[in-house]
Structures are given as C-alpha cells and as structure tokens.
C-alpha cells in the first residue's frame, strides 16, 4: 500500500523520472492538499490531544458528499503527528477492482470491525466516522446536525483498549451543498447517494478541532453489552453536538464577503434553524424541536418505554395488555430515531416554556406512518395520594393501528437554541 500522505523525496525537477503511480498517488495528493489548506483558510486546534503512540481512534463528524473531510483530516494528522493515519471508508469503494485499487493506493481501508481491530492491535491511528455515509450524504438543510452514531467505534475501543479522540470538522458542510439523499435500497442493500448542488468546492472557512481524548473505563468483557455500547455512543454524540454548536456559532459566516454577497443575490442560503431540545439521561426519550422557514420538525431519539405507553387509568384488562404489546411492536419498528414534520402555520410554539401544539396530518420519517397532531403538555398525576408534575410529548400515530402515544421528558433537561 502506498502512503500518499508521505512527503515525496523526489525533487520537483526530477518529476519526469517518476512513474504514473508516484505522480498520481504521491506527488499530486500532497500538492492538492496544500492548495486546499490555503483555499479553505484551514485552522487547527487541539493537536496536543492526539496521543503520539498506541492505538487511537479519531472519531470526526462527517459532512460534504465529496469526502474532502476525510482526505484533509488524514493529511493534517500525518503532517502534525508523524503517524500514518488509516482511514476507514465505505464498502462501495471496494465493490469492483477498478475502484478498490485506487482506494488501496490512497491508503483507504474498508470499514469493517475486523479491519479496524487488526489495525488497532498494531497500535495504528485509525480515522473512523461514527455517522457513516448518513453524515456526509445528508441534505444540507440538516447541516451540523449529527446523525445517529453507529456503535462500531465504541466496540473497537472496548476490544482493543484504544483511546477515542472526538474530532470536529467545521466548514465541509458549506463546501459541497447536498440537496437530498437518494435511496437505492431496492437495487443494493444500504445504497444511497447524494444529489449535489455543486461539484467545485465553495471557499468556506474550515476549522478542525481535536477535543480531549476519551479512555473508556471498560474492557473487552463489555463487548456484547448492547445497551452499554449504545449509551456510550450517544454520550459521545451529544457531547460532540454541543461543542459543534458552539464552534459554528463562534465562527460566524463560512464564506468570503464577496462570495457571501453573490450567494445572497442568488437567494441561496441554508434554512435558519431555532427551537429547543430536551436531552435527559441516556436511558430516557430525547426530544428536539426544530423551527425552519416553513415547517416545524420534532425529532424523537431513543424512545424507550414503548411497552408502557399509553398509560391507562385503573386496572388494565387482558385486552389492554395485548394492545400494549401490539403498540410496542409497531412503535419499535420506527427505530431509535424518527421525526415528524408539520407546516409552520399549523403550529403554536413557545420556546421559553417548551410548549408545542400542532394540528393536522403529518408524515413521519419512517415508511408510511402518519400523525394527527402533537402537544407538549404539563400534567398532574396522583399516585398513592402524592401528586407529580410531569411534562409529556403527546402525539397520535397511525401505523396498522391508531394510537395516542405519550413519551415523558423532564423539563429540567430542556434548553432553547
């Protein structure tokens, strides 16, 4: 495998003696990366957080359909740590010999658990994007909204003892604009592709931040603990999301003033997002309400406790218990995260009190499920003569059957943004 990040020993005036492989995979990439650093006005922070030896997993957010973030990050790592980064990439690169050969020469490794463990056991520095292709193929309207982290990087760290360095990449979202994620799962499992607006990269300002390293306090004995792996991945994702929000807010405009003026004249802009989020403990339901130009979107993550919802007054009959089970099965099919979107003119929202009320039919992001309204209401409940004040996210749901769903969250865990 050729290390294309390595500085070529050949002088420029000897280039005519180099073969095609050396030019294509060694000289040209280094020249291109140096140009991109200048073009994006790249700023780097936190290099001291990268261990100089031992197994390390660099875990960045993934954005920009082109994969520039992976290439530039790997180049920066090699330049500044003197370690050769091993970049785990999508299996589509390795489907055919014509694509697999260039990928291997560029130093890319197919993203499998076995490959990752083999590299970490040799004390390598591995770059692995926890979001996978869902991160860089998402529509630009969801820029800087981390997609669900897969748990593979956590399991690799547990088995190998590797240190995890959460990494933030700011700027790639605005470099390549993606209109939509197109699904082709009918033709190939897990296949989806971007619908790009531009191929030539826009001159967005980039910043790469290496945050404090994480040494997991568990070992290989927890490898099969799915709940623990899920919780650890979510904790890292939530921490990265908060830091990412701060960095984006601190940066301001991504573009040069001239380009920004051109974009304004052509009416191109990303949708302004505001709203509130409620992120309680890792084992509870988390809610995020996004207010966009014409819509309000409610994102529900980790909807635990389905089998207990909705609550019925009095003693549950056998029929009601069977209904609970049927509802739980249908709701769990929605997965660990789904969203519901309503027209903005059908909703009333108060971000100060975290109240949301929407009327009318709305599509849910998973399959052909529908909802008929939503509310976040504070209610009083009495158990054994003790009263409790709770807030619940309530919505109707039609999937094979019709339900009223009630997911509890703690208002103390809510914040507006």
Q: What is the pLDDT of residues 365-399, one digit of tens each?
A: 876 788 878 888 776 666 555 555 667 777 777 77
What distances in angstroms separate CA 19 from CA 12, 101, 210, 241, one per listed residue?
Answer: 14, 17, 37, 45
Phi/psi of residue 227, nearest 5 degrees: -65, -40
Q: What separation, in Å, do the N-terminal and C-terminal C-alpha atoms of the chain show?
A: 46
pLDDT of 267 strictly over 50: no
In this predicted structure, what is the pLDDT of residue 57? 97
Residue 266 has pLDDT above 60, yes or no: no
For the chain, the average pLDDT equals 79
Q: Give the DSSP per-residue string, 16-40.
A: GGS-HHHIIIIIHHHHHHHHHHHHT
Domains of the chain, by residue range, sit at 12-265, 274-416
∠135-295-279 over CA atoms, to 5°? 55
pLDDT band at 29; cut points 50, 70, 90: confident
Half-sphere exposure of 36 (CA within 13 A, CB side): 22
**314: confidence class by pLDDT, cuts 50, 70, 90:** very low
**Contact between 189 and 81 (Cβ < 8 Å):** no
Regarding beta strands 85-89 and 125-127, do their DSSP bridges make them parallel or antiparallel, or are they unpaired? parallel
For β-strands 163-170 and 207-210, DSSP reports them as antiparallel
Question: Between 311 and 338, where is the model more confident?
Answer: 338
> What is the edge-to-edge ordering of all strands in the sheet holding 286-291?
337-343, 295-301, 286-291, 274-278, 414-416
Percent of the chain's residues with pLDDT above 90: 30
Residue among 86, 81, 72 nearest 117 (CA): 86
Q: Is the peptide bond before 340 cis (omega within 30 degrees of 0)?
A: no
Q: Say if residue 8's pLDDT is above 70.
A: no
- Residue 215 to residues 56, 129, 153, 222, 240: CA-CA distances in angstroms? 10, 18, 13, 14, 16
Residues 49, 211 contacting (CB under 8 angstroms): yes
Tens of pLDDT, residues 192-227: 778 888 889 998 999 999 999 999 999 999 999 999
In order, the DSSP letters of 316-348 are PPHHHHHHHHHHHHHHHTT-SEEEEEEEGGGEE
Predicted local distance difference test score (pLDDT) of residue 146:
93
Q: What is the pLDDT of residue 318?
A: 59
The position carrying tokens 């956590």 is: 154
**Backbone dihedral region for residue 398 (phi beyond 0: left; psi -120 to 50: alpha; all else: beta):** beta
Stretch among 19-23, 32-36, 136-140, 327-331 having the lowest mean pLDDT? 19-23
Q: pLDDT band at 319, cuts 50/70/90?
A: low
Question: How far apart are the C-alpha atoms of 306 and 309, rounded to whole Å?
Answer: 5
Confidence at residue 12, expressed as pLDDT on a 0 to 100 scale: 46
pLDDT at 277: 81
Helix (H, G, I), strand (E, B) or coil at 70: helix
168-185 pLDDT tens trace: 999 999 999 988 888 766
Q: Residue ranges of the alpha helices (H) in 206-317?
A: 226-251, 257-265
Supply 352's token pair. 């100060």
d(CA 214, CA 193): 32
Q: CA-CA distance, 323 to 407, in Å (whole number)?
A: 17
Would you call 328 exposed, middle or buried from its count of C-beta atoms within 10 A (0-12, 13-18, 19+)?
A: middle
Report d(CA 62, CA 178) in Å as an integer: 13
Q: Would you state the pLDDT for residue 320?
A: 59
**pLDDT reported for residue 363:** 78
For the cut 90, the answer to whether the pLDDT of residue 323 exceeds it is no
Maximum Cα interatomic distance, the chain, rounded to a whole number of Å: 88
Quick one: DSSP state of residue 194?
Answer: E
Q: By percentage, how much of the chain surpasses pLDDT 70?
A: 70
Its pTM stands at 0.60
Instruction: Quote the pLDDT of residue 215.
Output: 96
Phi, psi values for residue 316, rounded to 5°:
-75, 135
- Residue with the bigger pLDDT between 402 and 86: it is 86
Tell me the per-residue pLDDT of 327-346, one tens digit each, with 9 for 90 and over: 666 667 777 778 888 888 88
CATH topology of domain 12-265: Glycerol-3-phosphate (1)-acyltransferase (3.40.1130)
Q: According to the model, what pLDDT value does residue 310 have? A: 44
Residue 153's nearest CA partner among 210, 122, 115 is: 115
Beta bridge partners of 405: 395
Residue 247 pLDDT: 92
What is the token pair recorded at 163? Answer: 């240190």
Q: What is the pLDDT, as a whole number, of residue 4?
A: 47
Sheet containing 43-45: which strands, arranged edge to edge? 43-45, 207-210, 163-170, 56-60, 125-127, 85-89, 108-110
pLDDT digits (tens, 9 = 90+) for 70-106: 889 999 998 899 898 999 987 666 667 676 776 666 6
Split at pLDDT 50, 70, 90, the class of 357 is confident
């Amino acid at each position: 495998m050729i290390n294309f990040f390595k500085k070529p020993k050949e002088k420029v005036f000897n280039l005519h003696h180099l073969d095609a492989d050396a030019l294509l995979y060694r000289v040209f990439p280094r020249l291109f990366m140096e140009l991109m650093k200048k073009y994006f006005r790249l700023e780097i922070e936190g290099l001291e957080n990268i261990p100089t030896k031992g197994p390390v997993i660099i875990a960045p957010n993934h954005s920009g359909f082109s994969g520039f973030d992976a290439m530039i990050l790997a180049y920066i790592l090699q330049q500044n740590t003197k370690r050769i980064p091993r970049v785990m990439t999508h299996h589509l690169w390795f489907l055919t010999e014509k694509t697999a050969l260039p990928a291997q020469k560029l130093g890319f490794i197919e993203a499998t658990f076995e490959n990752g463990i083999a590299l970490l056991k040799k004390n390598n520095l591995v770059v692995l994007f926890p979001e996978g292709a869902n991160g860089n193929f998402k529509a630009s309207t969801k820029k800087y909204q981390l997609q669900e982290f897969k748990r593979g990087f956590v399991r690799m760290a547990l088995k190998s003892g590797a240190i995890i360095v959460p990494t933030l990449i700011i700027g790639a979202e605005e470099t390549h604009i993606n209109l939509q994620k197109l699904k082709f799962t009918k033709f190939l499992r897990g296949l989806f592709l971007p619908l790009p607006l531009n191929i030539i990269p826009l001159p967005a300002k980039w910043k790469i931040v290496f945050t404090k390293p994480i040494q997991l306090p568990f070992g290989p004995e927890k490898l099969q603990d799915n709940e623990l792996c899920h919780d650890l991945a979510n904790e890292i994702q939530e921490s990265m999301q908060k830091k990412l929000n701060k960095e984006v807010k601190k940066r301001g405009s991504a573009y040069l003033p001239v380009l920004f003026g051109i974009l304004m004249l052509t009416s191109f802009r990303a949708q302004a997002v505001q709203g509130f989020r409620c992120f309680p403990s890792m084992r509870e339901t988390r809610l995020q309400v996004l207010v966009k130009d014409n819509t309000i979107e409610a994102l529900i993550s980790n909807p635990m406790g389905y089998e207990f919802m909705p609550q019925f007054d009095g003693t549950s009959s056998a029929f009601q218990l069977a209904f609970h089970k049927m509802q739980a099965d249908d709701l769990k099919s929605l997965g660990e995260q789904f969203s519901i979107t309503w027209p903005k003119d059908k909703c009333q929202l108060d971000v100060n009190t975290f109240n949301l009320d929407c009327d009318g039919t709305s599509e849910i992001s998973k399959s052909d499920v529908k909802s008929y309204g939503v509310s976040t209401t504070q209610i009083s409940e009495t158990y054994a003569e003790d009263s409790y004040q709770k807030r619940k996210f309530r919505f109707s749901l039609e999937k094979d059957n019709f339900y009223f769903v009630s997911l509890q969250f703690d208002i103390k865990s809510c914040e507006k943004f």
